[in-house]
Amino acid sequence: MAHPLRTSETVFLGVVVQPKTKAPIYVTRRSGSQMTVDIIGLANMQQEDAPARAYVALGDGYLNDDREYAGPTDVTGLPRSHTPRGVSARGGGYGTCLYTGLVLLASAQEEGKLFVPGIIGSGAGISSESSTRSDSATRWWRAALARGIAAQEKGDTEGDDDEERYETEELDDEDVEDHVSSRDWRRLTDQISDAISNYGEWSLAGGVSIRANLSREVPVEGGRSGEVITADFYTLASAEKHHLVAVREIATGGIMTWARKPTFDGVSHKDVILALNVTGQDSLMVAKLALVAKEGGASDAAVSEMMMRNQFGADIISRKMLFQPGEQVELPVVDERLGQQLGGRRRTRMPPARERGQTAPPHTNPAPIPVTHRNPAVEPTASERRALEKSLAELEKRRADLGWNELEDLP
């Protein structure tokens, strides 16, 4: 029976956490591919050619379908991950997003919600092995192992199906004739007799007797060749334990299609959603995250605070930007590859009036933090500012409770 989610469709898989910026990163299975995922987020504003306020693919990887690279699967049972092109910004936390996205794909397959034909192995997680990894991948796995996100298992590989394993078998003297046909045996004795006769005028009576120590290579019963390796693996249970997954849901279409859905049928973690950095995120996307958090048990007050942080571009990471006058910037526009345009025409925000007696802090925009986005027409009132400051204090505590401070330097 055919699975309802066709290969030609883009499939939304969930929302994961960028450990450095705390921003939401969206995971989709690429259309036309059964086992490839893209991680999608706001464009790195340090890239001069990046579209202003665009959601773009920031990395991709796939699950293994090649028996030659299935050694880690033989040991752990989990599909092996491949990230040959990696991520667009190395060392900034996006590698963690990519591997977590691959975990979501493997988990969807394991739960029977998404059919991924061809992959070798099964289970809610991914595996890897150091011998064929890139330097970037090796750095991520080492960091993940050091923080207890990934684990290791040692075991035997199955080897290549076409490669037989042999052992040497010694043949006794009396066995020699058993392994040579009678015709070949006569030819052999005649050749030896002719060779001996060349050395003199004499004849060899009684034929030729051969004694030798011979051996032959025979296949081991059952036997494909293998080796002992140490495989690394990363599971959904670990990703959720370390609060790196905010949302899991299988839905056709890209991230904006998911954002426009008025319902939610998946797994969510409200505390993770409420702790996300939503500055610069499209308001439609944040509204959907708020809906999911509310359905997961979040209070109205907590949801409102998250929406307010998005509206005014407030976050612990960008606290200094909260009240600073800013230059004109373009509001969110979705990358053309996603096929969905947001909000029609582009608008710009005007620099807000500076408060009396207040000196604006110096402008900072450290990579890869996106440019802070605020509502272009509205400035926070005095009461809203007090509420924002209270919200940021609560946000700081929430992130500390989730343990994100220890994950900030993950590649």
Residue 60 lies in a domain: yes
Same-domain status, 46 and 107: yes
pLDDT in tens, 208-238: 555 555 565 655 444 445 688 999 999 999 9
Give the per-residue pLDDT at 159.
Answer: 58
d(CA 249, CA 268): 8
Residue 138 lies in a domain: yes
Burial track 342-379 (b if 16+ CB lie within 10 A, e otherwise)? beeeeeebeebeeeeeeeeeeeeeeebbbbbbbeeeee
Same-domain status, 126 and 86: yes
Same-domain status, 190 and 136: no
d(CA 146, CA 276): 24
Helix (H) or strand (E) holding 141, with range, is: helix 135-146
Contact 3, 29 (CB under 8 A): no
pLDDT in tens, 238-249: 999 999 999 999
Contact 294, 13 (CB under 8 A): no
Q: What is the pTM of this model?
A: 0.71
Same-domain status, 115 and 189: no
Same-domain status, 209 and 245: no
pLDDT at 287 > cutoff 60? yes
Same-domain status, 170 and 76: no
pLDDT at 340 > cutoff 50? no
Backbone angles phi, psi at 361, to 5 degrees: -70, 160
Nearest CA to 246 among 406, 92, 43, 398?
A: 398
Same-domain status, 184 and 48: no
Give the per-residue pLDDT at 45.
Answer: 44
Residue 289 lies in a domain: no
* Cα maximum dimension of the chain: 128
Same-domain status, 136 and 125: yes
Same-domain status, 48 and 81: yes
Residue 150 lies in a domain: yes
Same-domain status, 189 and 113: no
Residue 237 lies in a domain: yes
Same-domain status, 83 and 202: no
Q: Count how many domains the chain has.
A: 2
d(CA 229, CA 73): 11
pLDDT at 300 > cutoff 90? yes
Contact 40, 28 (CB under 8 A): yes
Domain with 174, as residue range(s), is: 164-224
> Residues 102-120: what's their mean pLDDT?
91
